[in-house]
């Protein structure tokens, strides 16, 4: 999924040879073929030597299977810190990784998750064990009153155009007339942009009688109800206006979602809906 803003073309996939990391790899392989990406396999452990041949063999198999360029990296150290470090210095389009694993890759289920998501500036797609992937038919995108919330639209367009997806734009019911007016304006703006881009989308207000929880709970409920393929959420900026599905709420969605979750870091300097 190549972001035009960086002109990069490489998906980073942390691998610990567990079932969940291979589920993430299958996800990344499909994306790499779709977007003509390269793949970098990153393995992290205390003794890197014993895994080198296995990693090289895996890369070779992918190259032969898909004719995709595959690179390998072996690092030692703390998993969360090393992934962030590699992502920072490399020219990667996105990270695709599992939410659990046998040798430290379970960071998205533990206390390291928030640190990793916040420290990585590129999108992170989190995949669960056993999830199959043949595209994003249904993408759930919660929108709230915050400016940052709408920055997901560029990525939604990017995915929808390639996979012929339907974007499900969901938002909470507001009792306050002022907030209701403003959320409606945000939703209409998002809808106009998706319409102009030729992206299929549906707007859905999460009525309190059916969706009485916080936005993250309602997002999970709605995604499960429509059998979504992906949930698109944001991380948090310092001083962000709303406690949306950001910060700890993004973490809860990552941990509890039954589908894949794409976590996007918002820009601190404003944004353009057409940056992709």
Q: What pLDDT was estimated at residue 259? A: 92
Residue range 96-113: mean pLDDT, rounded: 56
Instruction: Give the rounded percent of residues in the chain with a pLDDT score beyond 70.
Output: 80
Question: How far, in Å, are 15, 49, 59, 102 from residue 20 at the CA level?
Answer: 9, 22, 17, 9
- Does the pLDDT at position 71 exceed 60? yes
Q: What angle do CA 58, 48, 116 make, to 5 degrees?
A: 85
Q: What pLDDT was estimated at residue 164? A: 96
Residue range 24-34: mean pLDDT, rounded: 94
- List pLDDT tens digits, range 221-275: 999 999 999 999 987 543 344 444 444 677 788 888 999 999 988 775 444 444 3
Determine the Cα–Cα distance for residues 22 and 28; give it in Å rounded to an integer. 10
If you search the block for the tokens 């993430």, which residue do you land on?
A: 24
Task: Read off the pLDDT band of 4 (50, 70, 90).
Answer: very low
Residue 266 gets which letter from DSSP? Answer: P
Domains of the chain: 10-127 (3.40.50.620), 138-264 (3.40.50.620)
Q: What pLDDT was estimated at residue 236? A: 57
- Does the pLDDT at position 276 exceed 60? no
- Does the pLDDT at position 106 exceed 60? no
- List pLDDT tens digits, range 136-186: 999 999 988 776 677 789 999 999 999 999 999 999 877 788 888 888 888
Alpha helices in the chain (DSSP H): 19-35, 49-66, 79-89, 113-119, 153-163, 177-196, 215-225, 248-256
Averaged confidence pLDDT in the chain: 82
Q: What pLDDT was estimated at residue 111? A: 46
Q: Please tell me which residue, 81 or 275, carries the higher pLDDT value.
A: 81
Residue range 97-123: mean pLDDT, rounded: 62
Q: Which residue, 96, 50, 53, is CA-closest to 76?
A: 50
Highest mean pLDDT among 41-55, 96-110, 159-173: 159-173
- Does the pLDDT at position 97 exceed 60? yes
Instruction: Give the rounded percent of residues in the chain with a pLDDT score beyond 90.
Output: 45
Residue range 199-227: mean pLDDT, rounded: 93
Determine the Cα–Cα distance for residues 145 and 244; give it in Å rounded to an integer. 9
Q: What pLDDT was estimated at residue 227? A: 95
């Amino acid at each position: 999924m190549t972001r035009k803003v960086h002109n990069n073309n490489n998906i980073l996939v942390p691998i610990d040879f567990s079932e969940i990391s291979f589920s993430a790899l299958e996800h990344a392989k499909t994306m790499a073929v779709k977007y003509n990406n390269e793949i970098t396999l990153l393995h992290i452990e205390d003794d890197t030597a014993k895994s080198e041949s296995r990693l090289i063999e895996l890369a070779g198999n992918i190259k032969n299977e898909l004719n995709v360029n595959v690179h390998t990296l072996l690092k030692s150290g703390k998993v969360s810190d090393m992934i962030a470090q590699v992502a920072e210095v490399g020219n990667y389009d996105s990270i695709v990784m599992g939410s659990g694993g046998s040798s430290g890759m379970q960071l998205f289920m533990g206390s390291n998750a928030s640190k990793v998501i916040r420290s990585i500036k590129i999108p992170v797609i989190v995949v669960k064990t056993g999830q199959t992937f043949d595209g994003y038919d249904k993408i759930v995108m919660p929108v709230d009153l915050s400016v940052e919330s709408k920055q997901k639209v560029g990525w939604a367009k990017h995915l929808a155009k390639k996979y012929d997806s339907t974007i499900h734009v969901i938002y909470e019911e507001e009792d306050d007339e002022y907030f209701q007016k403003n959320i409606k304006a945000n939703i209409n703006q998002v809808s106009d942009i998706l319409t102009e881009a030729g992206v299929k989308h549906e707007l859905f207000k999460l009525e309190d009688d059916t969706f009485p929880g916080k936005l993250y709970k309602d997002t999970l409920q709605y995604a499960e109800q429509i059998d979504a393929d992906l949930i698109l959420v944001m991380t948090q900026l310092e001083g962000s206006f709303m406690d949306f599905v950001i910060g700890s709420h993004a973490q809860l969605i990552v941990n509890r979602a039954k589908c894949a979750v794409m976590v996007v870091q918002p820009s601190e300097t404003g944004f353009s809906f057409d940056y992709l």
